[in-house]
Amino acid sequence: MAVVTTEQTPALTHVRQDGTAAMVDVSAKPETTREATATGTVSTTADVMKLLGAGGLPKGDALAVARIAGIMGAKKTPDLIPLCHPLPISKATVDFELEETAVRVFATVKTRGPTGVEMEALTAVSVAALNVYDMIKAVDKHAVISDIHVLAKSGGKSGDWTLQQTPAEGNLA
């Protein structure tokens, strides 16, 4: 029995009809101000979080290093993600929320261009989280990086949206 649906399945934008990869042509798209915010989590122990908060880790100030690394990651996204367009990033921030047994990483990236900055925000979070892990691994080799995802985006043809539930809750808006 055939399933009939009234909604059209969106096509993958980076795949040609023959199945090969392609960079999307954004030359006809209008430049708009675009911004994206992403987050991720580095889970560790309460003892490590105390060291992190007090700046007492063997490698030094982990959050300062991770912040700079995350910003650099956003700027290097097209070098890491093959089909990403190089964009003139006008803003990149990386911030941290310290919890009892985890560090939440937040990155916001902004540009004025023909395509969005979700990948740059995700890269910034990922690189910052990797650097937190690198800075704490001497005292916790079992730290876990998880839950990296986009929280919000604005600008462009598809407009603005904000995540209504976390991916763990299984329903993205």
107 vs 151: CA distance, rounded Å: 10
* Dihedral sign for Cα atoms in the order 96, 36, 38, 70: negative
Positions annotated as catalytic residues are 134
Gap between the terminal Cα atoms of the chain: 30
Angle of CA points 71, 151, 15, to nearest 5°:
85
Helix H, strand E, coil C: the string for 68-89 is: HHHHHHHHCHHHHCCCCCCCCE
